[in-house]
Amino acid sequence: DAMVIQNPRYQVTQFGKPVTLSCSQTLNHNVMYWYQQKSSQAPKLLFHYYDKDFNNEADTPDNFQSRRPNTSFCFLDIRSPGLGDAAMYLCATSREVLSNEKLFFGSGTQLSVL
Amino acid sequence: AQSVTQPDIHITVSEGASLELRCNYSYGATPYLFWYVQSPGQGLQLLLKYFSGDTLVQGIKGFEAEFKRSQSSFNLRKPSVHWSDAAEYFCAVGNTNAGKSTFGDGTTLTVKP
């Protein structure tokens, strides 16, 4: 049974048109992460939530925002997508932020920008 | 700063052959090390991890990895590869925050019939 669920599986948007990607989890984990992964590259952490506390990575563009209305759901908002934002977006969770914690990944949302 | 190098971008092996994927890391203290597998169009799945203790760790799907401090390596091995093992493999070194692990750029494994 899927524990970290990302919707939709594929998303197509237009240049400059806001888009929201969704992630939900059934693990009741404290931490939720969003990564951007471009083709043949390592996942790049954009930000994470520890409970309601938002933690942005220093090099994450302002164009990327996130919301976590409750423990189970976390959203990635791209305010004005550019062609360079086309990528796979991965959501992950962990029970705590400790370095030995296991990360649980969703299957990702593949974003195309036309 | 921590870093991970996966020297092989792409490896092709025959089904049934043995496999070794290389990973070298740079980290100031005792590292937490991970191997993840990513099938096409999927998220990452943890294969195994090393924190301390026995330097040979066993993982899922018949994989194992050996931590060698002297070589700053954490190579992934499997004695007999199956066609379903074709995927991308990422090595990662842990940070104080689990999600901030530094990932290598990945090695794509192709399995020939």
pLDDT number for residue B52: 85
Which of the four pLDDT bands, split at 50, 70 and 90, describes residue B23? very high
Inform me whether the pLDDT recorded for B63 exceeds 70: yes
- Specify the higher pLDDT residue, B53 or A66: A66
Are residues B41 and A33, on separate chains, in Cβ contact within 8 Å? no
Minimum CA–CA partner of B47 in chain A: A102
Q: What are phi and psi of B61, to 5 degrees?
A: 60, 25
Which of the four pLDDT bands, split at 50, 70 and 90, describes residue B104? very high
Reduced to 3 states, what is the DSSP secondary structure of residue B71? helix
Structure tokens at B28: 């100031």
Query: What is the average per-residue pLDDT within B65-85?
Result: 96
Inform me whether the pLDDT recorded for A91 exceeds 80: yes
Give chain A's length.
114
Minimum CA–CA partner of B37 in chain A: A105
Minimum CA–CA partner of A91 in chain B: B43
B44, A90 Cβ separation under 8 angstroms = yes
Are residues A48 and B42, on separate chains, in Cβ contact within 8 Å? no
pLDDT number for residue A1: 65
Are residues A102 and B46, on separate chains, in Cβ contact within 8 Å? yes
| Whole-number Cα distances in Å, B10 to B31, B84, B100 | 25, 16, 25
Structure tokens at A19: 């888009």
Inform me whether the pLDDT recorded for B1 exceeds 80: no
Contacts of A42 in chain B (CB under 8 A): 90, 103-106
pLDDT number for residue A99: 77
pLDDT tens readout for residues A53-84: 999 999 999 999 999 999 999 999 999 999 99
pLDDT tens readout for residues A23-61: 999 999 999 999 999 988 889 999 999 999 999 999 999
pLDDT number for residue B99: 84
Nearest by Cα to B66 from B106, B23, B109, B110: B23
Are residues A108 and B42, on separate chains, in Cβ contact within 8 Å? yes
Counting Cα atoms < 13 Å in the Cβ hemisphere of B82 gives 5
